[in-house]
Amino acid sequence: MVLKIVQIGEQVLRKPARALAWEEIQTAEIQRLIADMRDTMQDAPGVGLAAPQIGQSLQIAVIEDLEKYHKELTPQQLTERGRRPVPFHVLINPRIVSKSHPNQCFLEGCLSFSGFGALVERSQSVVVEFLNEYAQEKRVEAEGWYARILQHEIDHLQGRLYIDRMDARTLTTLENYKRYWKDATPEEMKSRLGGS
């Protein structure tokens, strides 16, 4: 079932979400919620969705970056972003156990701040530990765009939005981004806006 995605200003987006107990994860209620989150993310469409975005203050996120979402990017842009398809998976109680430096800066958007985007600096690679939908312990080493998605969704579970990390001068509607900035690198965008 497709659920309503709450928008910026809703209190649930600004408070840390509750961790789930092992026994709770396999209940019919949580399994149904995960299925609904998948439907909602795919309907939006988006590459990630955290439970607070559908009004549930729980540490659950779903991620899936389909190849069809890459069509508007050039091969060079895909390489620069380190963007490759990521199969659907569920993260419960995730935590970042290590991050790399240097960071990379790219435009991010959010289903809970619909129609906008801004440049956000994130670690290029991360290691994340979490439970899957079967309450099994998992660990993933991610880089490029996948690492960015993980950091974005884990931020949601901690009550943070990308606007807390963005370069405020680069905030734009997605329509204007496509019109003026689509082929510009993040460095060019910053330079033309008078940033460093």
Rounded CA-CA distance 81/146 in Å is 9
The Cα-based distances of 193 to 3, 64, 164, 179, 188 in angstroms read: 37, 32, 19, 15, 8
Spot the catalytic one: 153, 175, 187, 188. 153
* Known catalytic membership, residue 72: no
Rounded CA-CA distance 127/196 in Å is 29
Between strands 172-173 and 116-123, the pairing is antiparallel
Beta carbons of 160 and 109 less than 8 angstroms apart: no
Catalytic residues: 153
